[in-house]
Amino acid sequence: MAEHPNQLEVEPAGFALARERSAGGPSRKGALLDRRPGAATRFFTHPVTLRIVSAAALCLAWQWAGTVPISPAFPTFTETMAALWAMLADGSLFAAFAITLQPLLIGLVVSAILGVAVGVAMGLDERAEWFASPIFIVAQAAPLAALIPLIVFAYGIGLTSKTLVVCIMAMPVIVLNSFAAVRHTPVSLTEMGRSFLAPRRKVISRIILPAASPVIFAGLRLGCASGFIGAILAELLITPTGVGDIITYSRSIADYPSMYAAILSIIVFSVVFIEAIEQAEVILFRPEKRASP
Amino acid sequence: MIVFGRRIPMVASLLLWAILWEIIGQLQVTILLPPLSSVVMRLFEIVPTASFMSALGVTAYAFIVGNVIAIAVGVPLGILMGRSVIADRLFLPWVNLFLSAPLTALVPVIMVIFGLGQTTIILTVVLFAIWIIVLDARAGVRSISPSLVEMAHSFGANRLQAFTRIYLWAALPEILAGIRLGVIRAVKGVIIGQLLVSIVGFGALFKLYGSRFLMEHFWTALLVLFALAFILAESLAWLERRVDFYAASRG
Amino acid sequence: MNAPIALTAARPVTDSVVEVRNLDKIYAGTVQALKDITVDFPRGQLTSLLGPSGCGKTTLLKIIAGLLPASAGEVRVNGKVVSGPGPERAFVFQDFALMPWASVIKNVTFGLEMRGMAKAEREEIARRSIARVGLAGFENRYPHELSGGMRQRVGLARALCVDADVVMMDEPFSAVDEQNRRKFQEELLTLVAQEKKTFIFVTHSIEEAVYVSDRIVLLSPRPGRIAEIIEPDINRDGDTEAIRRHPVYLDTVDAIWYSLKTYLD
Ligand SMILES: Nc1ncnc2c1ncn2[C@@H]1O[C@H](COP(=O)(O)OP(=O)(O)OP(=O)(O)O)[C@@H](O)[C@H]1O
Ligand SMILES: [Mg+2]
């Protein structure tokens, strides 16, 4: 079980918005249809049209399923939106997010710093790899959520436990991506550094880390997604607080619109959050992407 | 790692960790971590018991059914998205959204609609596994060389033939990669589902062991679970490397 | 099979910058890549290493560059034994080895920066070097905005601006299209004539080697040894285009081909 780089869950297709833009238009190579459409067809197949159509269709389907209703526990789209609005208006949603975000942000910052450091160390040093990689390879494949009851025994039901849950969910993918990124730095780039007399320290800071940063950031995005999973799981499983509390409480009193609204809000929030990380990466670390379209 | 000119295999480090675990356990640093040896002894005692076997069976059932559904729906959907621009634009934003969304938040929805049973857990497995399968199948179809498609059409293949004879096979390496990643996610999904439902399979076992403070039992269950997950992931990776080999020779 | 004409034998080298003595290289304890290589590289000239794929050209070049350790034997540059990369040597990479996140000017100044030169000074030098390879105006572009040929010019500018005595190039034009390649070869000749530098040039193209080289070291494969050293007697002072029609050029190409043919299976 040495290094199989392809075995990592490296980011597949990325996140809709940013990638769609950078891909440069609809007609790409491959098996896509390549006919020349008429004006009307062009309007109906335009990405924006279709995105709106797709969103509208989903809302309508939701509304219809709620009015039937397919289940007594399935509110309509408008009811959910009304509940969302109510929670936004009385500020309860913001208060809930403030609580949920605490373990999440602490956990993500800790995992990011620790995870990248461990992964980079493993990439640079064979002994560190030998020592740590089996643990993280197992952790990447294993259902770490099963550790939650144990964490609760050890650290109680407070912030520490929830932060730890976020960490164990987010860390393996961050570590393994950082490791693979460093290990697969193009040899000719490091040789270039050496031949132009860069000391080891400079080869690392000026060549290896910048070359690894796209994959490290992909790992961070995946880690964030896992961290969100962990944060919600902790709130549902350990003690209901924050958004988890809204979900659990409104479920217990059968206030399904509020429950759905809370779930919708956390999903939207996580997607926006991860998108923001991607933008931050481009702005801070990828001058060549900013330079030209 | 190479020490004194000799290569020490990676597995040896797992052994080192096991020894470390044993020492910490023997020193009784924390009651949470019993020595590895006593956990292994416990393994032979509880694995054959009916409750453990049924937990394993229930979990395997939900896991397999969920994966079959995810593959049966995900692969054709991915191929469709790879083939049709309209389907792609309609579905891609949602697939991408669910890929990185905190899916645990959706489990309560499944719970209120489908109740606290196997159905909910199966659907959780599907929810975790399907998106990456769709995306990779889509990526596989998009990477098929146009000349291969043109060849099929020039030899008069109809749509169904083109699908079963060309797209499915040409995109196989990517599809398998997606399935492997989906299965790894499904392992996490099945456990998360059971923990949340908490009256089925390992979820119930963990609850039982936890409430009685049976740490050795707890670790035994964890050990079995992690080992199974790891073996599954490694064997799928092995299979995939075999197919990659065939794909490379395919040119 | 006899060569149609005798090759011009190499004259003994009087002033050599790089001396390679009894060099062996064994990879991973088993693969003998180089065996007993002894050769001199005369100052101010362009010497090519030519041979079929796998004969150890890259290996030899990297050992001279100090990027790889030798298994036996030694390399001296300006009389000093090589133990690693040094300021008197610069490398041009086959795959360009440009940092994609850095602009052209940042890529070119890399070597100077590592030597601790102040920013204003190194950018001044880099600008001149960029203009020298014909890329003036592209200083703030990024590698992905440039064509393959332009990227290799950036690699060349980076190697030129550190002002090393020896410039080493590993198949620098192999990733460049044929038209650009010919243009590059002509420019390289002008460069060799103008700069007082020693060039070591790896190629597997016979025509390229004969066109640009003052001296050609033919390597034979498995294990890599020196088969022959040739000095094509071509006058390069006049029209660069005329060289390709020069009878000595054509004869040398033929002769090398006959000589190398024996190593192909
Ligand atoms: N890192 C390595 N480990 C083991 N063997 C190697 C390594 N690098 C090169 N070799 C072997 O050493 C021999 C010489 O390789 P080298 O790359 O120097 O050849 P080359 O003349 O540059 O070939 P090419 O024209 O293909 O670039 C080859 O047989 C190659 O397989
Ligand atoms: Mg080479």
On the question of pLDDT at B168 being above 90, the answer is: no
d(CA A54, CA A36) in angstroms, rounded, equals: 23
Instruction: Check if A40 contacts B (Cβ < 8 Å).
Output: no
CA distances (Å), C193 to each of C180, C197, C236, C240, C256, in order?
20, 9, 9, 12, 25
Name the residue of chain A whose CA is nearest to C91's CA. A195
Ligand 1 centroid from CA A251, angstroms: 67
pLDDT band at A25 (very low <50, low <70, confident <90, very high): very low
Beta strand ranges found along C1-145 (DSSP E):
16-27, 31-42, 46-50, 72-77, 80-81, 89-92
* Contact at CB, B101 and A127, closer than 8 angstroms: no
Contacts of C152 (CB under 8 A, 6+ apart): C92, C96, C172, C173, C175, C176, C184
Residue nearest to atom 14 of ligand 1 (CA): C56
Q: How many CB pairs under 8 A join A and C?
A: 76
Rounded to whole angstroms, the Cα distance separating C147 from C143 reads 8
Domain boundaries, chain C: 16-88+166-264, 100-163
Quick one: CA dihedral A69, A71, A74, A79, positive or negative?
positive
Residues A66 and A79 in one domain: no
C99 near A210, Cβ under 8 Å?
yes
pLDDT band at C3 (very low <50, low <70, confident <90, very high): very low
Residue A20 covered by a domain: no
Which ligand 1 atom lies nearest to the CA of residue C204? 25
Which ranges of B27-106 does DSSP label H, i.e. alpha helix? Answer: 36-46, 50-83, 85-100
Q: pTM of the entire structure?
A: 0.86
One-character DSSP codes across A101-153: HHHHHHHHHHHHHHHHHHHHHHHH-HHHHHHHHHHHHHHHHS-GGGGHHHHHH
Instruction: Give the bridge partners for C46, in sequence order.
Output: C199
Which residue's entry shows tokens 């453990």?
B52
Q: Supply A283's token pair.
A: 């702005």
Residue type, C8: T
Separation of B240 CA from ligand 1 center, angstroms? 29
C85 CA from centroid of ligand 1 (Å): 20
| In CATH, C16-88+166-264 is 3.30.420.40 | no
How large is the average pLDDT for residues B160-182?
A: 83
Cβ neighbour number for residue B131 with a 10 Å cutoff: 28
* Within-domain flag for A22: no
Q: Which domain holds residue B142?
A: 53-248
Report d(CA A20, CA B149) in Å as an integer. 25
Would you state the pLDDT for residue C205?
86
Rounded CA gap, B121 and B115, in Å? 10
**Would you say the CB of residue C57 lies under 6 angstroms from ligand 1?**
yes
What is the DSSP-derived secondary structure letter of residue C224?
B
- Atom of ligand 1 at shortest range from CA of C57: 21
Output the DSSP codes for C104-157.
HHHHHHHHHHHTT--HHHHHHHHHHHHHHTT-TT-TT--GGGS-HHHHHHHHHH
What span, in angstroms and rounded, lies between the C-alpha atoms of A73 and B121? 18
Q: Whose CA is nearest to atom 2 of ligand 1?
A: C27
- Measured between CA atoms, the residue of chain A closest to residue B212 is A153
Is a pLDDT exceeding 80 seen at residue A47? no
Neighbours of chain C (3+ CB pairs under 8 A): A
Q: Given the CA of residue C202, which atom of ligand 1 is nearest to it? A: 22
The 10s digit of each residue's pLDDT in C55-111 is 888 999 999 999 999 888 999 998 888 888 989 999 999 888 999 999 999 999 999
Domain count, chain A: 2
Structure tokens at A162: 């929830």
pLDDT per residue over C196-240, tens digit each?
889 999 988 888 888 888 888 988 888 888 888 888 777 777 677
Look at residue A15 in the predicted model and tell me its pLDDT: 30
Ligand 1 pocket test, candidate residues C34, C37, C59, most atoms within 8 A of CB: C59
A218 and A195 in a common domain? yes
Highest mean pLDDT among A30-44, A263-277, B135-149: A263-277
Same domain, A162 and A244: yes
- The pLDDT score that the predictor gives to residue B19 is 92
**pLDDT class of A28 with cuts at 50, 70, 90:** very low
ipTM greater than cut 0.90: no
Is A52 found in the same domain as A152?
no
* Residue B93: partners with Cβ closer than 8 Å, 6 or more residues away: A16, A51, A54, A55
**Alpha-carbon span B146 to A250, nearest angstrom:** 53
Nearest by CB: A146 against B11, B93, B202: B202
Cβ neighbours of C89 in A, within 8 Å:
195
Sign of CA dihedral A250, A252, A253, A256: positive
Tell me which of A38 and A250 has the higher pLDDT: A250
How many other C-beta atoms lie within 10 A of the C-beta of residue A280?
11
What mean pLDDT comes out for the span A142-165? 89
More confident residue, C174 or A8: C174
- Give the closest residue to A79 by CA, choosing from A63, A61, A91, A100: A63
Whether A147 and B222 have beta carbons less than 8 Å apart is answered as yes
In-domain check, residue A11: no
The CA distance from A200 to the nearest CA of chain C, in Å, is 11
| Token duo for residue C12 | 């003994």
Domain co-membership, A123 together with A97: yes
Answer whether residue B11 is part of any domain. Answer: no
Residue in chain A lying closest to C143 (CA)? A288
Q: Is B219 contained in some domain?
A: yes
* A144, two tokens: 């770490």
pLDDT at B142 exceeding the cut of 50: yes
B167, closest residue in chain A (CA to CA): A31
**Would you place residue B246 in the very low, low, confident or very high pLDDT band (cuts 50, 70, 90)?**
low
B241 is written with which tokens?
Answer: 């490397």
Neighbour-count burial of B200, counting CB atoms closer than 10 A to its CB (0-12 exposed, 13-18 middle, 19+ buried): buried
Closest ligand, as measured to the CA of C170: 2
- Ligand 1 centre to CA of C223 (Å) is 10
Kindly state if the Cβ of C212 falls inside 6 Å of ligand 1.
no
| Secondary structure letter of residue A186 according to DSSP | -
A35: pLDDT strictly greater than 60: no
Last residue of some domain: A74, A106, A138?
A74
- C174 C-beta closer than 6 A to ligand 1: no
Task: Give me the pLDDT at residue C259, please.
Answer: 80
Residues of chain B neighbouring A141 (CB-CB closer than 8 A): 184, 187, 226, 229-230, 232-234
Task: Find the closest chain B residue to A251 by CA distance.
Answer: B112
The two structure tokens encoding residue C101: 């996140």
Give the residue from A74, A106, A137 where a domain finishes.
A74
Average pLDDT on B235-251 reads 73
In this structure, what DSSP letter does residue C242 have? G
Query: How close B38 gets to chain A, by Cα (Å)?
Result: 18
Name the token pair of C151.
């990227």
> Residue C264 is which amino acid?
L
* Number of domains within chain B: 1
List Cα–Cα distances, C28 to C44, C77, C137, in angstroms.
35, 26, 46
> With contact defined as beta carbons under 8 Å apart, do C118 and C110 qualify?
no
Closest by CA to A100, choosing from A222, A230, A220, is: A230
Which of B111, B206, B226 is nearest residue A142 as measured by Cβ atoms?
B226
Contacts of A195 in chain C (CB under 8 A): 65-67, 85, 89-91
Q: Which residues contact A97 (CB under 8 A, 6 or more apart)?
A: A242, A243, A265, A269
Write the CATH number for B179: 1.10.3720.10
User: Tokens standing for B49?
Assistant: 């018991």
CA–CA distance, C172 with C94 (Å, rounded to integer): 5
Question: Atom 1 of ligand 1 has which residue's CA nearest to it?
Answer: C27
Residue of A195, A286, A291 with shortest CB distance to C85: A195
3-state class of C29 per DSSP?
coil
B229 or C176, which is more confident? B229
Q: Which atom of ligand 1 is nearest to the CA of C94?
A: 27
Question: Which residues of chain A does B184 touch, with a Cβ-Cβ cutoff of 8 Å?
Answer: 9, 140-141
**C-alpha span between A263 and A244 (Å, rounded):** 9
Q: What is the 3-state secondary structure (H, E, C) of B214-247?
A: CHHHHHHHHHHHHHHHHHHHHHHHHHHHHHHHHH
The encoded tokens of residue A227 equal 């961290």
**Distance (Å) of CA A13 to CA A31, A139, A218, A292, C114:** 17, 23, 11, 22, 38
Residues A155-178 pLDDT 10s: 888 899 999 999 999 999 999 999
Query: Is there a contact between B82 and A260 if contact means CB atoms under 8 Å apart?
Result: no
Residue type, A143: P
Place of tokens 């080869």: A203
Whether A207 has its CB under 8 Å from any CB of chain C: the answer is yes
Q: According to the model, what pLDDT value does residue B120 have?
A: 94
User: Cis link prior to A149 (omega < 30° from 0)?
Assistant: no
CATH at residue A253: 1.10.3720.10
Mean pLDDT of A110-138: 93
In A, which residues are within 8 Å of B106 by CB distance? 263, 267
Are A135 and A274 contained in the same domain?
A: yes
Neighbours of A31 (CB within 10 A): 23
Mean pLDDT to the nearest integer, A49-68: 87
Is A291 within 8 Å of chain C by CB?
Answer: yes
Model pLDDT, residue A29:
36
Chains B and C touch (3+ CB pairs under 8 A): no
| Pocket lining: C53 vs ligand 1, CB cutoff 6 Å | yes
Q: Kindly determine whether residue A291 and residue C86, on different chains, have CB atoms separated by under 8 Å.
A: no
| C109: closest CA of chain A, how far (Å) | 10
Q: What's the CA gap between C233 and C8, in Å, rounded?
A: 7
Give the relative orientation of helices C148-161 and C119-132 as an angle to the nearest 10 degrees. Answer: 130
Query: Do strands C215-220 and C225-230 pair parallel, antiparallel, or not at all (unpaired)?
Result: antiparallel
CB contact residues (below 8 A), chain A span 116-175, against chain B? 126-127, 129-135, 137-138, 140-150, 153-154
State the chains in contact with B (3 or more Cβ–Cβ pairs under 8 Å): A
Average pLDDT, whole number, for chain A?
Answer: 83
Maximum alpha-carbon separation in chain B: 74
Across the interface, which of B10, B109, B149 has its CB nearest the CB of A31?
B149
Q: Which residue has the higher pLDDT, B227 or B155?
A: B227
Higher-pLDDT residue of B147 and A255 is A255
pLDDT for position A38? 64
CA B77 to chain centroid: 19
Q: Do both A41 and A123 map to the same domain?
A: no
Percent of chain A at pLDDT exceeding 90? 57
Per CB-CB distance under 8 Å, the chain B contacts of A13 are 96, 99, 135, 138-139
C114 within ligand 1 shell (Cβ under 6 A): no
Cα of A34 to nearest chain C Cα, Å: 27
| Greatest alpha-carbon span in chain A | 73
Helix-strand-coil split of chain A, %, nearest 5: 80, 0, 20
What is the length of chain C? 265
What range does the domain containing A136 cover? 75-290
Is residue C75 a contact partner of residue C17, using CB atoms and an 8 Å limit?
no
Residue A291 has which token pair?
Answer: 């330079």
- Is B129 within a domain? yes
Structure confidence at residue B64 (pLDDT): 95
The answer to whether residue B194 is domain-embedded is yes
Asked whether residue A286 is domain-assigned, the answer is yes
* Alpha-carbon distance C173 to nearest alpha carbon in chain A (angstroms): 16
